[in-house]
Amino acid sequence: MKLAIRDLEIGFGDRRVVELAELDVAAGEIVGLVGESGSGKSITALAVLGLAEAAGARVTGSIELDGRELIGAPPSQLREIRGSRIAMIFQHPVSAFNPVFRVGEIFLRALRLHGASRAKAVERARSALAEVLLPYELLNRYPHQLSGGQAQRVAVALAVALRAEVLIADEATSALDVTVQAEIVELLARLRELEGIAILFISHDLAVVGQLCDRVAVMREGRIVETGRTERVLHAPQDPYTRELIAAVPRITAGRTA
Amino acid sequence: MTEVAALPLVARRRALTRALRRNPLLLSGALIAFLLVVVAVFAPLIAPHPADAGTATNPIESLLPPSWHHLFGTDAVGRDLLSRVVFGARISLRIAGLVLASSILIGVPLGLAAGYFGGWIDSVIMRVTDVFLAFPALLLSLALAAVLTPSVGNATIAIAVTWWPWYARLARGQAASVAGRPFIEGARALGVPPVRTLLRHVLPNSITPVIVQASLDVGGIILTAAALSFLGLGAQDPTPEWGLMVSQGQSYFTTQWWLVTFPGAAILVAALAFNLLGDGLREVLDPRRIERR
């Protein structure tokens, strides 16, 4: 198993916000983590990156990457893993980049931070951009000169360039408009095929999750209430909360008159 | 204020040239400030009697009114006032530069660390800063200058001691707001170590207000330095310091007006120019006034 989470507990003070018994993501697999806002999805993502403690949380349990325990690992090792092995993309892609650096500098700095030579970094940035179907000239732009969709592609390309094995997408399509959303979904699916990357796709958007994910885990108040193959969970939900969640998705009915 | 930093330097530079053309006050402030710097740098070439800025005296030519030979007249010991005012620019700007450099070098790193790391680091740094801010700045400078031997160097130290806490406070506020922005989390998620995050990501995005404040402060520092010298706690004769020259000319004010007028005007012009420059810069760098592309 690429990423294996067991008995993960995350708390702030006396309040326990996540009690996650089991969640696995295999290489080449896309697992959706769905649930309403505040259900503990994002803090779980931060915990996987080893950043939950920095946000003031207490984390216990086990998170293994290729069988290697991440909880309790020294900060310097976690820093090496972050970016290079586990990458993350965010809800607001434009503001997730430092506005003072051009896209090219962002690639160079990130790649060199993780040990690539300058020449190697340039070459990897070039091929990664090609892989996400972005023109090479984009490297000369500043983040604010990119559209939301372009910026999210750049973020994905950065993960590709860094040879990340696990990609955590935290509401990565939620702030994009529907057509761009579809492009990113397609891109992530392609990436899984080409790179065999393991993707933990955190979202509250069941439609997108239904298109993209192999398996789905439904989270409520920090616990996973239901998990299984995407079709099964979305078409024959067992848990009442899942049913509620699915019922809440608005459907477009054709031919309706106002 | 935080959004200022969201603009890359290129856009800021472009906005600056545009604003210089549109805003005559900023333009005149910038021009005069630039002229002052030129005068200060080339003082020995510009001053008609460079020796008069030092220990030279010409008792025969004392207290001459402005004429073609002495454009600003001469002082009680016959020194050419224009030369002294020209060399005075050097002293005032050097004090301002040193005070700002030390304030920024001490205040900004402390403020950034306090704002970014928070917690006990923040508490310790900011409480120390508060101690300094608890006293009125001019009063503390006066007290310090009075304790130290009066000289330009000690006046500079006395002013710097009261000046840096403002920069610590400004940088702290900026850093704290930048620390909450998504790209900082993005940098962490890429495995960027804390100190590098602070230097490469927080600092460049917090520095704009510091630049504005520094340009506004030049005038204030020149005034404070002049005030200390005027009270005899700063520069000593024969140093051609503007405040000292005003104080020396004070007793002649009713009969030899030029003794206080020209150095006083120099103080006024310098303080005004840097204030116009700072005000203009603040407007230029205000995000609400920059067109988004």
- The dihedral region occupied by B232, where left means phi > 0, alpha psi between -120 and 50, and beta the remainder, is left
Confidence check: pLDDT of A250 > 80: no
Q: Where are the alpha helices (DSSP H) in chain B?
A: 9-22, 24-41, 43-46, 81-117, 119-133, 137-147, 152-179, 182-189, 194-196, 207-230, 242-249, 258-285
SS3 content of chain A, % helix, strand, coil (to 5): 45, 25, 30
Residue A81: list chain B partners with CB under 8 A. 191
pLDDT band with cut points at 50, 70 and 90 for residue A211: very high
Across A99-103, B40-44, B174-178, B278-282, least confident range: B278-282
* Predicted pLDDT at B45: 95
B235 within 8 A of B242, measured Cβ to Cβ: no
Span A88-102, average pLDDT: 93
Å from A104 to nearest chain B CA?
14
Q: Do B200 and A92 count as a contact with CB atoms less than 8 A apart? A: no
| A88 near B CB under 8 A | yes
Residue A78: list chain B partners with CB under 8 A. 191
Closest CA to B75 of B289, B262, B269: B262
Domain-located, residue A232: yes
Domain-located, residue A215: yes
Residue B190: list chain A partners with CB under 8 A. 82-83, 87, 110, 113, 158, 162
Residue A88: list chain B partners with CB under 8 A. 186, 189
Per the structure, the complete domain to which residue A17 belongs is given by 3-89+167-253
For B167-199, give the DSSP string. HHHHHHHHHHHHHTSHHHHHHHHTT--HHHIII
Counting Cα atoms < 13 Å in the Cβ hemisphere of A95 gives 12
Q: Do B8 and A144 count as a contact with CB atoms less than 8 A apart? A: yes
| A142 near B CB under 8 A | yes
Q: How far apart are CA A93 and CA A175, in angstroms?
A: 9
Q: For chain A, how many structural domains are there in total?
A: 1
Span B235-250, average pLDDT: 94
* Predicted pLDDT at B8: 52
* Predicted pLDDT at A23: 96
| A140 near B CB under 8 A | no
Domain-located, residue A118: no
Residues of B with CB under 8 A from a CB of A: 5-11, 181-183, 185-193, 200-201, 204-205, 292-293
Q: Do B205 and A113 count as a contact with CB atoms less than 8 A apart? A: no
| A144 near B CB under 8 A | yes
Taking only the tens place, the pLDDT of each residue in A150-207 is 999 999 999 999 999 999 999 999 999 999 999 999 999 999 998 899 999 999 989 9
The two beta strands, A30-34 and A198-203, are parallel
pLDDT band with cut points at 50, 70 and 90 for residue B139: very high
CATH code assigned at A185: 3.40.50.300
Domain-located, residue A214: yes
pLDDT band with cut points at 50, 70 and 90 for residue B290: very low
Q: Do A90 and B7 count as a contact with CB atoms less than 8 A apart? A: no
Residue A82's DSSP bridge partners are A86
B20 within 8 A of B27, measured Cβ to Cβ: yes
Q: Indicate the residue of B10, B11, B186 with minimum beta-carbon distance to A90.
A: B186
- What is the 3-class SS of A62-115, one letter each residue? EEEECCEECCCCCHHHHHHHHHHCEEEECCCCHHHCCCCCCHHHHHHHHHHHCC
Residue B192: list chain A partners with CB under 8 A. 79, 83, 113
Closest CA to A156 of A112, A203, A197: A197
The two beta strands, A58-65 and A68-69, are antiparallel
- Preceding omega of B238 cis (within 30 degrees of 0): yes
Domain-located, residue A94: no
Q: Indicate the residue of B6, B193, B200 with minimum beta-carbon distance to A99.
A: B6
Span B33-43, average pLDDT: 96
Domain-located, residue A127: no
Domain-located, residue A65: yes
Domain-located, residue A111: no
Residue A65's DSSP bridge partners are A3, A68
Q: By percentage, how much of chain A surpasses pLDDT 70?
A: 97
Q: Do A99 and B5 count as a contact with CB atoms less than 8 A apart? A: yes
Taking only the tens place, the pLDDT of each residue in A109-133 is 999 999 999 999 999 999 999 999 9
pLDDT band with cut points at 50, 70 and 90 for residue B288: low
A111 within 8 A of A120, measured Cβ to Cβ: yes
| A73 near B CB under 8 A | no
